[in-house]
Structure 1
Amino acid sequence: MSKVGVVYHSVCDSTRGLAQAVVEGVNNVSGCEGVELTILGEDIQLGRYRNSELMVQLDRCKAIVLGSPTFMGCVSAQFKAFMDTASERYSDRSWMDKLAAGFTIGGNFSGDQLNTIQTMQIFAAQTGMLWAPLGILTDSEGKGRNRGGCQSGLVAVAERDGGLHQLDLLTAQYLGERVGGLSLRLLPH
């Protein structure tokens, strides 16, 4: 069984909704199991992320999908605290050659979400992970997925009422299916 950890921080449940769609996509792939892992503010003490159980669960995954809302053009402070704690994985290379991907959501189409995705890509590179881009063209196959047009990862845009657009949820599910499938093909052991 190929485990894919979907680790995320959510404030208004929109990022959580995307994460759950990614997990659903992973679970659609035979031989894969998606694991939803939430970064909580109460796990941060004196500026450091302190949930070692979550970190151990990620250690056991073949792939890690990262998710954060875009706040002020970057990942949330809570997500950044998680990234900083993972520096131990940088030092011991325990995440080397895991597959990685990412998703984010912002308030509009030009909300600097790409910087959030690029921050996740750099984090993945620092820890030795292999980045999986979204891999679908905007509205390819007439399904409307990837409406944000970002190839580096899923960029979603919140609806005016704070909800999620159906096409963003479909894209999140696709991202889970893609990462699950790639984890089986590229990391068979």
Structure 2
Amino acid sequence: MLATILYDSGYGHTEKQAHAVAEGVRRVPHAEVQLIAVTDGDIPWDKLAASDAIIFGSPTYNGTISARLKKFMEDSTRPAWIPQTWRNKIAAGFTNSGAQHGDKLNSLMTMALFAAQHGMIWVGLDLFAGKGTEDPNRIGGWLGAMAQSDNVSPDLSPIASDLHTAAHLGQRVAEITSRFKANA
């Protein structure tokens, strides 16, 4: 089972969250993961087509995904949407913003709608909202993993509970994808 984490990160906080998602994927036996930053150059469409799951990540800027992830989405029309190369792949998403709430839900909804347009199967988060800053899913997201990053170095933020939430999402996607493949 191969999961690809495709993400954008403006200041390093979302990249840190992407690595936590990857850590969660690696917890599942026989699961492999690759990370692709949209800023790494040309998108390797063949690697995305070969993936069993694609997990999208973006910072939330001005209430939505980054312009670079939006460009990736628009660029996917010819290589992925028209031939439906991602049809029936598992999809999920994660985001973070500087504000506690910061309209992160809108970013996840944008990713989920994009996945639906590609015929993908969206996996949400199955964690009840935490009650304190140390609890997983402290922000209370169901559609995907949400994190909050203060205006500090990525060495300090997002906090551990947000990273545990991201890792949980990665593990959940890998488990569901493995089950999906076994029953296909």
- Runs of 5+ consecutive residues of structure 2 not aligned to the other structure: none
Aligned length: 177
Partner of residue 78, structure 1: 68
Q: In the TM superposition, what is the alpha-carbon distance from 1:160 to its structure 2 partner?
A: 4.2
Partner of residue 32, structure 1: 31
Q: How does 1:1-189 map to 2 (within 5 A)?
A: 2-40=1-39, 43=41, 51-52=42-43, 54-88=44-78, 89-139=80-130, 144-162=135-153, 163-188=157-182
Q: In the TM superposition, what is the alpha-carbon distance from 1:90 to its structure 2 partner?
A: 1.4
- Runs of 5+ consecutive residues of structure 1 not aligned to the other structure: 44-50
Please tell me the residue identity of whatever aligns with 1:105: N
Please give the alpha-carbon distance, in whole angstroms, between the structure 2 residues aligned to 1:13 and 1:110.
Answer: 19
RMSD of the alignment, in Å? 1.5
Find the residue that maps to 1:26 and give its secondary structure. Answer: helix
Q: Do the aligned residues in 2 keep the contact of 1:26 with 1:180 (CA within 8 Å)?
A: yes
Please give the alpha-carbon distance, in whole angstroms, between the structure 2 residues aligned to 1:136 and 1:111.
Answer: 20
Please give the alpha-carbon distance, in whole angstroms, between the structure 2 residues aligned to 1:110 and 1:104.
Answer: 11
Aligned identity (percent) is: 34
Find the residue that maps to 1:17 and give its secondary structure. Answer: helix
Please tell me the residue identity of whatever aligns with 1:172: A
Q: In the TM superposition, what is the alpha-carbon distance from 1:110 to its structure 2 partner?
A: 2.4
Q: In the TM superposition, what is the alpha-carbon distance from 1:159 to its structure 2 partner?
A: 2.7
Q: Deviations over 1:111-143 (max 9, x none)?
A: 111100000000000011000001111129xx7
Partner of residue 47, structure 1: none
- Which is worse superposed, 57-66 or 153-162? 153-162
Runs of 4+ aligned residues of structure 1 deviating over 3 Å after TM superposition are: none
Please give the alpha-carbon distance, in whole angstroms, between the structure 2 residues aligned to 1:72 and 1:139.
Answer: 25
Please give the alpha-carbon distance, in whole angstroms, between the structure 2 residues aligned to 1:56 and 1:134.
Answer: 28
- Which is worse superposed, 61-70 or 156-165? 156-165
